[in-house]
Chains A and B, each alone.
Chain A
Amino acid sequence: MSKTIYPDSNIPAELSVEVIREDSLRPTRKWGRSTQIWLGCLLMVAGWGLYAYIHQLRHGLGETAMRNYVSWGLYISTFVFFIGISHSGTLVSAILRITKQDWRMPITRIAELMTFVSLLFGGIMPIIDLGRPDRIANLVIFGRVQSPLMWDVMSILTYFTGSTIFLWLPMIPDMALSRDRLTVCDSRFKKFRKWLYTKLAIGWTGSKTQWKRLELVMTIMTIVIIPVAVSVHTVVSYIFAMTLRPGWNSTVFGPYFVAGALYSGSAIVILAMVVFRKLYHLEKYITYRHFDLMGRVVLALTLIYAYLNLNEYWIPAYKMATAEGHLLHDLFSGSYSTAFWLCQFGTVLFPIIVMCFPKGRTPGMLAFICSLIAVGAWVKRYLIVVPTLLHPFLPIQDVPQDWAQYFPNWVEWSVTMGALSGILIVITLYAKLFPMMSIWEVVHGAKVEENKRIATEKGEHEEEELLKAESVHAKTSKGKTTIVMANGNK
């Protein structure tokens, strides 16, 4: 496949608009057996998670492994991880959009979708963690802006609204296309689809004014969403950093969390790229070049993250102040040391080394590396939340055994896995309803490439002409043959 692509191009230039459209829309038309089985499995996991959550609701948070010392556990770690993934959408989409990176076209939709779903479930995690979810309205009735948790609520809601709009805006022309194409094709839930596409297309006809408006709104959203995204993970870190606890009481926590979020989020985008490229046969669009470039992005972000890790651990480790020192001892050589060093070497340093080499940035290698990063980022969140809680200033003395240790129990695992499969369900449903590439942007990209190609060829041609013109006097006979040949071909 890659051979047919024009060298250095982002999108195969010779692809016609029609092919691109059909390639994008085709997967939304069939609900294969495998999709049904996949969805069925996910629903079972999600159902089990829901059962575990209902169990927790009925009997209280005492059903989890959390106790007075470790009062935040897997739920909050997962919350931080999910919110972290949500940074991918903004990064790939908005930052690459603002820097006019044309190669982003086929992957923006995937990235934006990741943001949307991970925020959706990331936002649910703290609610699952609440002792009194029935009193959630108190956040509105008695809300205090002084509380970091309130900042979280506000910024996550803002970011969720923003990223939903950001996902939907570039979908409008595609929705119009899906709406118009729907009558021709045979698909399930036709009526529902028709209704959905019509609603989402909000009367898009593709007129000049509409394009102009879309472009304007997209520009505004692109600019607005970046600071919102940065703020979200910064304030997520503040729920920890605003305490006096060793390990959390850190001024680097804001950027540390943002870097960690970008690192894990961009890795998740690559994972999604690998999956959809394979499943939806998008090899023509998402090429080795995309993986190479995204690999470089992840490499750069991992380096930043590694640098912040150094700041976060090396500075206190050099000083070994009392309380901080106890925590660091536990992380470096104590009960959490295996997980800690596996995270640092296995999911930060190792990926950096591998991704430095071009062969480390092929889809296969990146899929492996990014899976490592995703798991590592999740474990790292856990290592940020739990060990600190086990190292308070005052010693843990004469308390029940289960207070002084923590490992998530079946309820927490079930609920968390349920949330994870919820994410996958939403992604699957989305991918079965909507095109996974921003069709009009890819078409636009293809046109840009075509123009580039024509321009280069023209340039080459002109050069040739010039050369010919120079040599015409010397070799008249050759020139004649060319003309004859050309005529003959016609």
Chain B
Amino acid sequence: MQEDNKKDNKKDNKNNRRDFLRKSLITGGVLAAGAIGLEKVFSKEGEKTSTDDTTVFTRDGKVFRADMECLHEYKAPPVTNEEARKGIAGKKFVMVFDLAKCDGCKKCTEACQAMHFTEPDREWIKVYKMKDAETTAPYYMPKPCFHCDNPPCTKVCPVGATFKRQDGIVLIDDERCIGCRSCLAACPYSTRFFNWSDPIQPVAVANIPYSPEHGFPRQRGTSEKCDFCPHMIREGKMPACVTGCPMQTIYFGDQNEDAVTNSAGVTVKLSQLLEDNSAYRYMEELGTEPRVYYLPPKNRKYPKPDMESIGKEKKDDGKKPNSDMGNMVM
């Protein structure tokens, strides 16, 4: 038993070091897109072409200066399907949207679509123009998957292809999904999408080994949705929408740590943030227990959304946009 504990401690130390390494690399601003290989951090040694140096840690904890060009992005080792189902231990991820800051620029959607190689019509995070009643003010409402703690979607899945993890994230295993679309029908927030036809994706993406943690390569006949970017979290990074938001609207973090961070790197106390701003969750009465909070759009500094423009925006797929207002009160 004692030996086991020791081993565990050692492992923890190692993990901490690894985290540290990751974070130091990130703060070094080394985000060379497309770079690969965990062990190849210093593969280009000796071919110095640049003079920009940075401080880095090696895997065994040594600190030294290295050329920026020699550095490659840290890639978390691929997780097994079993690990992807379990989730990251000890975490409870939450997202907070400060609606007062959102100006509806849809940069979060764009960042998300780039991250997940989605087709333009799949908005995993969608920015709605909301107006609750005729007399109330309109506002923008970005909506990702709420990763509900009482998820209606995972309950109805007949094969357990969509599941709730210990870190609060709801994921889909496209390799198990049978395409019955019960989850699409069950989700009250219209969060899920279905791959009706063969997905359009780059060949390079199609050749990446599939993991439920990033949701690609896509497969026809399966469902997909926002996943809180667990493959980024494993690398110590923020979800694409959070970093992609120029307005610092989106906060992301761990409820257990009681801390959330936005794209500007501002970390705040979650409970304080929710309390000070009278945060709410969308449609609390449904009892789905969302892991996404909204701060009311009070004292907005940006122009309010033009409700008349709904359905008139240009769509790049050539199809006529829809002008149906659905359930919106006008």
Residues of B contacting A: mostly: loop
Asked whether, in the complex, the Cβ of A144 is within 8 Å of the Cβ of B221, the reply is no
B residues 125-153 with Cβ under 8 Å of A? 126, 128-130, 143, 152
CA distance A396 to B126 in the complex (A): 11
Asked whether, in the complex, the Cβ of B159 is within 8 Å of the Cβ of A142, the reply is yes
* A141, A239, A244: the one within 8 Å of B188 (CB): A244
Asked whether, in the complex, the Cβ of A395 is within 8 Å of the Cβ of B176, the reply is no
Which A residues touch B198, using CB under 8 A?
59-60, 62
Asked whether, in the complex, the Cβ of A147 is within 8 Å of the Cβ of B327, the reply is no
Is B262's CB within 8 Å of the partner chain A? no
Is B121's CB within 8 Å of the partner chain A? yes
Which A residues touch B176, using CB under 8 A?
135, 138, 142
Which B residues touch A193, using CB under 8 A?
none
Asked whether, in the complex, the Cβ of B121 is within 8 Å of the Cβ of A400, the reply is yes
Asked whether, in the complex, the Cβ of A68 is within 8 Å of the Cβ of B128, the reply is no
Asked whether, in the complex, the Cβ of A398 is within 8 Å of the Cβ of B321, the reply is yes
CA distance A380 to B223 in the complex (A): 28
Is A481's CB within 8 Å of the partner chain B? no
Known A131-B221, A147-B155; contact A398-B196, beta-carbon cutoff 8 A:
no
Asked whether, in the complex, the Cβ of A143 is within 8 Å of the Cβ of B322, the reply is no
The number of chain B residues touching the other chain, given as a range, is 35 or more
Asked whether, in the complex, the Cβ of A150 is within 8 Å of the Cβ of B158, the reply is yes
B residues 283-318 with Cβ under 8 Å of A? 283, 286, 288, 310-311, 313, 315, 317
Greatest chain B CB density within 10 A among A66, A68, A130 is at A68
Is B190's CB within 8 Å of the partner chain A? yes
Is A225's CB within 8 Å of the partner chain B? no
CA distance A60 to B152 in the complex (A): 26
Is A126's CB within 8 Å of the partner chain B? yes
Known A61-B196, A149-B158, A392-B190; contact A130-B328, beta-carbon cutoff 8 A:
no
CA distance A173 to B152 in the complex (A): 51
Asked whether, in the complex, the Cβ of B186 is within 8 Å of the Cβ of A242, the reply is yes
Asked whether, in the complex, the Cβ of A143 is within 8 Å of the Cβ of B159, the reply is yes
Which B residues touch A139, using CB under 8 A?
158-159, 178
Is B180's CB within 8 Å of the partner chain A? yes
A residues 69-124 with Cβ under 8 Å of B? 69, 71-72
Asked whether, in the complex, the Cβ of B180 is within 8 Å of the Cβ of A401, the reply is no
* B152, B184, B222: the one within 8 Å of A68 (CB): B184
Known A60-B221, A66-B196; contact A394-B190, beta-carbon cutoff 8 A:
yes
User: How distant is A158 from chain B, measured CB to nearest CB, in Å?
Assistant: 16
CA distance A401 to B323 in the complex (A): 8
Which A residues touch B221, using CB under 8 A?
60-61, 130-132
Asked whether, in the complex, the Cβ of A399 is within 8 Å of the Cβ of B185, the reply is no
Asked whether, in the complex, the Cβ of B155 is within 8 Å of the Cβ of A397, the reply is no
User: How distant is A180 from chain B, measured CB to nearest CB, in Å?
Assistant: 48
CA distance A66 to B179 in the complex (A): 13
Is B202's CB within 8 Å of the partner chain A? no
A residues 386-407 with Cβ under 8 Å of B? 389-405
* B158, B188, B196: the one within 8 Å of A147 (CB): B158
Q: Nearest residue in B to A64 (C-beta to C-beta)?
A: B196
Asked whether, in the complex, the Cβ of B327 is within 8 Å of the Cβ of A393, the reply is yes
User: How distant is A64 from chain B, measured CB to nearest CB, in Å?
Assistant: 8
CA distance A244 to B284 in the complex (A): 12
CA distance A244 to B183 in the complex (A): 12
Q: Nearest residue in A to B330 (C-beta to C-beta)?
A: A395
Asked whether, in the complex, the Cβ of B222 is within 8 Å of the Cβ of A245, the reply is no
Asked whether, in the complex, the Cβ of A144 is within 8 Å of the Cβ of B158, the reply is yes
Asked whether, in the complex, the Cβ of B177 is within 8 Å of the Cβ of A147, the reply is no
Asked whether, in the complex, the Cβ of B179 is within 8 Å of the Cβ of A131, the reply is yes
Q: Nearest residue in B to A326 (C-beta to C-beta)?
A: B327
Greatest chain B CB density within 10 A among A245, A390, A391, A396 is at A396
Asked whether, in the complex, the Cβ of B194 is within 8 Å of the Cβ of A131, the reply is yes
Inter-chain CB contacts under 8 Å: number: 189
Is B156's CB within 8 Å of the partner chain A? yes
CA distance A175 to B311 in the complex (A): 65
Is B320's CB within 8 Å of the partner chain A? yes
* A67, A69, A129: the one within 8 Å of B180 (CB): A129
CA distance A245 to B189 in the complex (A): 10
Is B197's CB within 8 Å of the partner chain A? yes
User: How distant is A189 from chain B, measured CB to nearest CB, in Å?
Assistant: 39
* A130, A141, A243, A392: the one within 8 Å of B179 (CB): A130
Is A146's CB within 8 Å of the partner chain B? yes
Is A469's CB within 8 Å of the partner chain B? no
Is B44's CB within 8 Å of the partner chain A? no
Asked whether, in the complex, the Cβ of A395 is within 8 Å of the Cβ of B158, the reply is no
Asked whether, in the complex, the Cβ of A394 is within 8 Å of the Cβ of B189, the reply is yes
Q: Nearest residue in A to B288 (C-beta to C-beta)?
A: A244
Asked whether, in the complex, the Cβ of B156 is within 8 Å of the Cβ of A148, the reply is yes
Is B57's CB within 8 Å of the partner chain A? no
Is A322's CB within 8 Å of the partner chain B? yes
Asked whether, in the complex, the Cβ of A397 is within 8 Å of the Cβ of B310, the reply is yes
Greatest chain A CB density within 10 A among B121, B143, B189 is at B121
Which A residues touch B326, using CB under 8 A?
326, 390-392, 394-397, 404
Which B residues touch A138, using CB under 8 A?
159, 161, 176, 178
Asked whether, in the complex, the Cβ of A148 is within 8 Å of the Cβ of B182, the reply is yes
* A66, A240, A393, A403: the one within 8 Å of B189 (CB): A393
Asked whether, in the complex, the Cβ of B327 is within 8 Å of the Cβ of A62, the reply is no
CA distance A133 to B313 in the complex (A): 37
Q: Nearest residue in A to B143 (C-beta to C-beta)?
A: A394
* B121, B185, B220: the one within 8 Å of A60 (CB): B220
Known A129-B180, A149-B182; contact A242-B156, beta-carbon cutoff 8 A:
yes
Is B28's CB within 8 Å of the partner chain A? no
Asked whether, in the complex, the Cβ of A243 is within 8 Å of the Cβ of B319, the reply is no
CA distance A153 to B158 in the complex (A): 10
* B152, B159, B220, B315: the one within 8 Å of A400 (CB): B315
Is A136's CB within 8 Å of the partner chain B? yes
Which A residues touch B161, using CB under 8 A?
138, 142
Which A residues touch B130, using CB under 8 A?
395
CA distance A239 to B121 in the complex (A): 27
Is A323's CB within 8 Å of the partner chain B? yes
Which A residues touch B182, using CB under 8 A?
147-149, 239
CA distance A351 to B301 in the complex (A): 62
Q: Nearest residue in A to B191 (C-beta to C-beta)?
A: A394
CA distance A402 to B179 in the complex (A): 20
User: How distant is A466 from chain B, measured CB to nearest CB, in Å?
Assistant: 73
Which B residues touch A240, using CB under 8 A?
185
User: How distant is A226 from chain B, measured CB to nearest CB, in Å?
Assistant: 27
* Contact digits for B155-168, partner A, Cβ 8 Å, 1 yes 0 no: 11111110000000
Which A residues touch B185, using CB under 8 A?
71-72, 239-240, 243, 245, 389
Q: A68-B193, A150-B158 are in contact. List 14 more A-B contacts (CB 8 A).
A: A64-B196, A68-B192, A129-B180, A131-B178, A131-B194, A131-B195, A131-B196, A135-B179, A139-B159, A147-B159, A243-B185, A244-B152, A395-B324, A400-B322
Interface residues of B (CB under 8 A from A): 121, 126, 128-130, 143, 152, 155-161, 176-182, 184-186, 188-190, 192-198, 220-223, 283, 286, 288, 310-311, 313, 315, 317, 319-322, 324-329
Which are the 6 A-B pairs with shortest beta-carbon distances? A131-B179, A131-B221, A62-B197, A62-B196, A395-B326, A404-B322
Q: Can you sample 6 A-B contacts with CB below 8 Å?
A: A60-B197, A61-B197, A130-B180, A133-B178, A399-B322, A401-B319
